[in-house]
Structure 1
Amino acid sequence: MASMFTAAFWVATGERTVRTAAQTLIATLGLETTGVLDVDWGQGLALAGSAALLAVLTAISASGTGGPGLTETVRERQ
């Protein structure tokens, strides 16, 4: 089990957090471009920040399950 007090846990959590924020920002601004949503950069960044915070909180709440996510990683199964 991965503990949230290890460097590996926080590296993986950081990677997932950045990826989640980037995906949310790209999706939000893409929907704005197509006219589905009416948002500006500030609103898009706020949504991305909220998604990043939720990614960190999910990782912390799942810290005893084998990784920062709710499933174990391939390396841990080997």
Structure 2
Amino acid sequence: MSMSKKWWKCAAIRAVKTAAQTAVAMLPVAAAINQVDWKMVIGTAALAFVASMLTSLAGIPEAKD
């Protein structure tokens, strides 16, 4: 596995999408309790970003030449 510029770009795009999906999924729950804890939302989204980047180490099909 080589971590080319293309790999980094694909991994980053995938991780940003995962973080955004996680944050959006948390908002209705936070709104249901009438208070959005933004630190929790951002922290959880950041953790999802890191987890996605680590998962990408196993390979990203769209980054293959």
TM bin, normalised by shorter chain, reads 0.7 to 0.9
Residue aligning to 1:55: 52
TM-score normalised per structure 2 = 0.80
Instruction: Summarize deviations over 1:26-50 as a string: whole Å, max 9, x none.
Output: 1111221234xx7500001110011
Gaps of 5+ in 1: none
The structure with the greater share of residues assigned to helix is: 2
Provide the rounded CA distance (Å) in 2 between the counterparts of 1:4 and 1:31. Answer: 40
* Of 14, 32, 45, the match for 2:30: 32
For CA contacts below 8 A with separation 6 or more, give which structure has more relative contact order. Answer: 2
How well do the aligned residues superpose, as a CA RMSD in angstroms? Answer: 2.1
Gaps of 5+ in 2: none
Provide the rounded CA distance (Å) in 1 between the counterparts of 2:2 and 2:26. Answer: 30
TM-score normalised per structure 1 = 0.68
Larger Rg: 1 or 2?
A: 1
What count of residue pairs does the alignment treat as equivalent? 63
Q: Counterpart amino acid of 1:41?
A: W
Q: Is the 1:4–1:10 Cα contact (8 Å) retained in structure 2?
A: no
- Report runs of 4+ in structure 1 exceeding 6 Å deviation: none
